[in-house]
Amino acid sequence: MARRFPWSWLALLAACALVAVLAWQNRTLREERRWLVTRTTEPYLGMYLPKIAATALDGTPLTLGVPAADYQVLFFFTTTCPYCKRSAPSVAQAAQRLAEQGGGRVQVLGVCQCSPEQARSYAADHRFAFPVTTLTERRALMLFRARNVPLMLALDRDGRVRYARVGVFDTTERVQDLVAAVRRTEAPAALATVEE
Amino acid at 134: T
| CA 81 to centroid of chain Cα atoms | 17
- Determine which helix (DSSP H) or strand (DSSP E) holds 70, and give its type and residue range: none
| Domain count within the chain | 2
In a domain, 121, yes or no: yes
| pLDDT single digits (tens) 76-90 | 999 999 999 999 999
Q: Do residues 61 and 27 both lie within one domain?
A: no
87 and 144 co-located in one domain: yes
Q: Is residue 119 part of a domain?
A: yes
**Residue 16 falls inside a structural domain:** yes
The reply to whether 74 and 147 lie within a common domain is yes
95-108: pLDDT as tens digits: 999 999 878 899 99
Query: What stretches in the chain show pLDDT beneath 70?
Result: 1-5, 36-39, 185-196
- What is the CATH number for 173? 3.40.30.10
For residue 188, the SS3 value is coil
Look up the domain containing 129 and give its range.
52-184
Q: Give 93-144 as a DSSP string.
A: HHHHHHHHHSTT-EEEEEEESS-HHHHHHHHHHTT--S-EEE---HHHHHHT
| Residue 185: predicted pLDDT | 64
- Domain membership of residue 46 (yes or no) is no
Helix (H) or strand (E) holding 19: helix 7-41
Q: Is the Cβ–Cβ distance between 50 and 144 less than 8 Å?
A: yes
Same domain? For 78 and 149 the reply is yes
